[in-house]
A and B are shown apart, each in its own frame.
Chain A
Amino acid sequence: AQKVTQAQTEISVVEKEDVTLDCVYETRDTTYYLFWYKQPPSGELVFLIRRNSFDEQNEISGRYSWNFQKSTSSFNFTITASQVVDSAVYFCALGGGSYIPTFGRGTSLIVHP
């Protein structure tokens, strides 16, 4: 069975601080995909990134970066110099070639001005 754990329920930071959202996963699949989604207050989930299990290169996109470590089954997400607009719920998800991804429970990020 697949499982995604986002242990941080809520994180509160002040603007310009760096923040890391943790994601730990469990799967028996040898090929799988990891995702991060952002859910702003409007409610719609927005896709941020997909990473396949064969690619452990870290990725950076502007202020966002992702650290994929197969050895620890983690796919952490870091926001550098956080901004108020980053306030949202962030979901980590795992897909393993089936139709159904497994979502974590989400981490609520609050960035204070």
Chain B
Amino acid sequence: SQTIHQWPATLVQPVGSPLSLECTVEGTSNPNLYWYRQAAGRGLQLLFYSVGIGQISSEVPQNLSASRPQDRQFILSSKKLLLSDSGFYLCAWSVLSSGRSLKQFFGPGTRLTVL
């Protein structure tokens, strides 16, 4: 069966420090991968998505970046965190087959607090 892991579960970082959040998927090949942020207002904001290794699409310009060094690994990074980067970060995967939009599976999330 497929599983998705995220770490760390919680993180407290000072403003200006770097960030690296990792997401890995098991049990599937060539998934579409997504990074979402959920701020205090509760809505889900899509940050990045990837349809393959090295292919990253950014939805919102910001000081964050994403990389996909392996098929089932998706990394969210920042060189210098801002206070506004605080939030709940969710990784998700889906499989797109024959043009059909299939359901997404979400990871447990990382709660980031920038002080």
Digit string of B2-38 for contact with A (CB within 8 Å is 1, else 0)?
0000000000000000000000000000001010000
Residue of B with least CB distance to A35: B103
A106 to B51, alpha carbons, bound, how many Å? 26
Q: A105 interface residue, CB < 8 Å from B? A: yes
Q: A89 interface residue, CB < 8 Å from B? A: yes
Interface of A is mostly: loop
A101 pairs with B101, CB closer than 8 A? yes
How many interface contacts (CB-CB < 8 Å) are there between A and B? 59
Q: A108 interface residue, CB < 8 Å from B? A: yes
Q: In whole Å, how far is B21's beta carbon from the nearest beta carbon of chain A?
A: 14
Number of interface residues of A (CB under 8 A): 25
Task: Pick the residue among B34, B43, B100 that contacts A105 (CB under 8 A).
Answer: B43
Task: Pick the residue among A42, A91, A96 that contacts B101 (CB under 8 A).
Answer: A96
Measured CB to CB, the residues of A under 8 A from B are 31-33, 35, 37, 42-47, 50, 89, 91, 95-101, 103, 105-106, 108
